[in-house]
Amino acid sequence: MTKKYTIVGIDEAGRGPLAGPVVAAAIIIEEKFLSQEVDDSKKINEKKRNLLYEILLRDAAQIGIGIVNPDEIDKINIHNATLKAMQNSYDKIKCNNCMVYIDGIHKPDLIENAYAIKHGDSFVPAISAASIIAKVTRDKIMYKIDKEFPIYNFKKHKGYPTKQHIEIIKKYGTCKYHRKTFKPITNL
């Protein structure tokens, strides 16, 4: 008799920005609840992503969120911060007999039965669902940060290194949400 595993998908959002946290999501959701429209969050427009986020929140058996803030990213580096956010997201769900699929080529050491899958957010539905949860969660955080520091226009670029964002940093300097160890901030 074959063992039946519970599938967990894990993905992160926010490795590349100059500001804001890195956010990871772990999700357990039955495949029958996954819409055909669920895909890598980067391939879905914001309106559809937000709609799918609400559906996933409703239909998921469990969701865990892990957040590592910019000051800690600067202390432990983005690679370790991403692994920590993933571990934290996984620690917030309860799962026995799990098979864990993680987007990327690295995985936290403390998660058993975990498999890192390069570009998994494009073809493993549970990872795609996690990518949507992580991205929308991070975007919501960036909207809050934008209200605190509207001069940076975080609501538009979400902290990514756009030309506009870099010009604003050159003009006004950084705020407490910027990652001080990231280029081009270190060069300014």
Full-model pTM: 0.94
The three-state DSSP-derived secondary structure of 56-101 is: HHHHCCEEEEEEECHHHHHHHCHHHHHHHHHHHHHHCCCCCCEEEE
Mean pLDDT of 27-55: 88
Whether 174 contacts 187, CB under 8 Å: no
- Report the C-alpha gap between 188 and 174 in whole angstroms: 10
Beta bridge partners of 67: 23
- Report the C-alpha gap between 96 and 76 in whole angstroms: 30
For residue 51, give the 3-state DSSP assignment. helix
Mean pLDDT of 103-110: 93
pLDDT of residue 85: 98
Domains of the chain: residue spans and CATH: 6-187 (3.30.420.10)
